[in-house]
Amino acid sequence: MVRAGGNDSTDGGDMMTKAQWRKRLLAARADVPMARRVAEAASLVRSLTSLPEVDVVCGYLPFGTEPGSIALLDELRRTGRTVLLPVIPDVPGPLEWAAYTGSGDLVPGRLRGVLEPAGERLGVTAVASAGLVLVPALAVDHRGVRLGRGAGYYDRSLELAADAELIALVRDDEFVPELPTEPHDVRMNGVLLPDGGWVRTPTARPGAS
């Protein structure tokens, strides 16, 4: 379980840097038994019924120890939503997007181990068509501050989705009281938790509901 604790400046609570948080969170995820990961992924699929009903959802394929599974994307498609997945651009910048049409349409992306849709790239502005964006995260705090892996792709992309609900998928103990933040960090409207379901968070994003 990830907790903000300890008594020294390198291991305690709100004094931890983003890099220290990432190290701790990734280590904790690596220790989660496979049976628990499978159960949590199934729970996240069941929790989809609590999310806003929108026509277009930007999702993602869980990578490594990230919570969730491709079954979540398939369930979104089964219920009639158009699902867009990120395509990592050739140069640093906002993510591009392409439609997810099923697991048989996935091919290796630019980053090792990451799969992407093989279909037409819809450009970086396609995220603006989504009413809901599911966002990967290592943790989210109670203010909506998200901690990602540090590449910056999502912070650049989510600025283009001003009217969408931004919901991060994290494990229940990765929803923490406070994380370090910077001015460019885009805050989440909520989190989707395996046990806790959909939880709204305060947000400073203009235009968000």
As a whole number of angstroms, the distance between CA 205 and CA 97 comes to: 22
What confidence tens digit (pLDDT) does each residue in 128-168 have?
A: 999 999 999 999 999 999 999 877 789 889 989 988 999 99
| Rounded average pLDDT over 195-200 | 94
Give the whole-number percent of the chain exceeding pLDDT 70: 90
Against a cut of 0.85, is the pTM above it? yes
Residue 206 has what pLDDT?
A: 43
What confidence tens digit (pLDDT) does each residue in 27-65 have?
A: 999 999 999 999 999 999 999 999 989 999 999 999 889
What confidence tens digit (pLDDT) does each residue in 86-99 have?
A: 998 877 789 999 99
Residue 203 has what pLDDT?
A: 67
Residue 205: pLDDT band with limits 50, 70, 90 = low
User: What are the percentages of helix, strand and coil residues in the chain, rounded to 5?
Assistant: 30, 20, 50
pLDDT at 5 over 90: no
Would you say 100 and 85 are in contact if contact means Cβ atoms under 8 Å apart?
yes
End-to-end CA distance of the chain: 32
| Rounded average pLDDT over 5-28 | 70
The candidate with the shortest Cα–Cα distance to 164, out of 190, 206, 117, 131, is 131
Type of residue at 138: L
